[in-house]
Structure 1
Amino acid sequence: MQYNANSPAEYIRQVPAERKPAMEKLRERIKKNLPSGFEETMSYGMIGYVVPHSIFPSGYHCDPKLPLPFMSIASQKNFIAVYHMGIYTMPALMDWFVNEYRAHYKAKLDMGKSCMRFKKPGDIPYDLIGDLASKISVQEWIDFYQNSIKR
C-alpha cells in the first residue's frame, strides 16, 4: 500500500485510523532507541531509517543517490511491516530476535527475510522492536555493509 507522503508525519496522517496509534508507537520506539547518526526519512514509500549521505557519501550501491537503508516501517494492505536490513544480513541478529520474540510473545511470528508482518496492531512487540533498533551503530552498519558489498 503506497501513500503519497513527503515526510514521516505526513505518512502517519494518511494511515487508516485503526492503525495510526500502532504506527505512532512503533515510530516513537524506533526513534527513541536508534543509535545516533541514523536519520528518519521517507524511503521507498515508507518511513525509513537510513545512514545519510553526510555520514556515508557513497550511498546505497543499487542507487548511490539514495542513502544507505537500515530500517523501515510501513502500513501495508493487510498488515503493519517492520523491515530491518540487519536481520536480513546478520544470522546472529536474526537468531536473537526470533528467540526473544518466542520467549516473550504468544502470537506466531510472521517473518520473511527482512520483514516482520503484524496483522493485529496488538501483536506488535514494541519494546523488542526498540531493542532491535538499538543493536547496531551507524559505523557497525557501514562496516558490515562495505564488507558485504566487496564480496
Structure 2
Amino acid sequence: MKIEANTPEEYIAQLPEDRKLAITKLRQIILENLPVGFEETISYGMIGYVVPHTAYSPGYHCNSKLPLPFINIASQKNFIALYHFGIYNDPALYNWFVEQYPKYSSRKLDMGKSCIRFKNLDAIPYKLIGALVRKISMPQWIENYEATIKR
C-alpha cells in the first residue's frame, strides 16, 4: 500500500477508516513513550521515528542523506506493520519482546526480523508497544547501531 505523504497527518488522512484508527492509536502510543531526541517524520513512505542529523550527523549507512531510522509504522496491503530496528540488532530486546507478547495478546505473534505484523487491528498490544518504544534511548540506539554496522 503506497501512500504519498509529506507529514504523518497527510499519511493518516489517506487511510481507510479502520486503519486510520489503528495507526492513529499506534502513533499516539509511540509519541507518548518515545525517548527524548527522536523525531517523527515520513521515512521510506511510512510514519517514521528517526535520529535527526543534528544528533547523529553520519545518518543512515545505506544513504547518509537520510537520518538514522529507529521505528516505522505503516499500513500495508493485508496488515499494519511496526518496524523496530532495535529488535533487529539486539537479541536481548528481541527475546524480551517475544517472551512478553503472549502476556498482552492471545493472537500468534507474526514477526520477521524487524517487522511486527498486525492483521487483526483489534488485537494490537498497544501497552506492549509502548513498553518496547521506551526500552532504548537515543544514545543507546546510536551505540547499538554503530556496534552493528562496524562488524
Smaller-chain TM-score bracket: over 0.9
AA paired with 2:83? Answer: Y
Partner residue, 2:116: 116
Partner residue, 1:131: 131
Partner residue, 2:2: 2
Between 135-144 and 97-106, report the one with greater CA deviation. 97-106
Which runs of 5 or more structure 1 residues have no equivalent in the other structure? none
- After superposition, residues 6-21 of structure 1 pair within 5 angstroms as 6-21=6-21
Q: Summarize deviations over 1:73-95 as a string: whole Å, max 9, x none.
A: 00001000000001111111011
AA paired with 2:114? Answer: S
Give yes or no for contact 2:104–2:128 (8 Å, CA) kept in 1.
no
Equivalent-residue separation in structure 2 for 1:47 and 1:12 (angstroms): 9
RMSD over aligned CA atoms reads 0.7
* 1:104, distance to aligned residue in structure 2 (A): 2.6
Q: Which aligned runs of 4 or more in structure 1 are off by greater than 3 angstroms? A: none
* 1:149, distance to aligned residue in structure 2 (A): 1.4
Alignment of 1:28 onto 2:28: yes
Aligned residues: 151
Which runs of 5 or more structure 2 residues have no equivalent in the other structure? none
Partner residue, 2:107: 107
- After superposition, residues 47-126 of structure 1 pair within 5 angstroms as 47-126=47-126
Give yes or no for contact 2:13–2:20 (8 Å, CA) kept in 1.
yes
* 1:115, distance to aligned residue in structure 2 (A): 0.4
Question: Aligned to 1:25, what secondary structure does the other structure show?
Answer: helix
Alignment of 1:145 onto 2:145: yes
For normalisation by structure 1, the TM-score amounts to: 0.98
Equivalent-residue separation in structure 1 for 2:148 and 2:83 (angstroms): 19
Q: Summarize deviations over 1:86-134 as a string: whole Å, max 9, x none.
A: 1111111011111111123101111000000011111100110111011
AA paired with 1:50? Answer: V
Q: Percent identity?
A: 62
Equivalent-residue separation in structure 2 for 1:121 and 1:87 (angstroms): 22
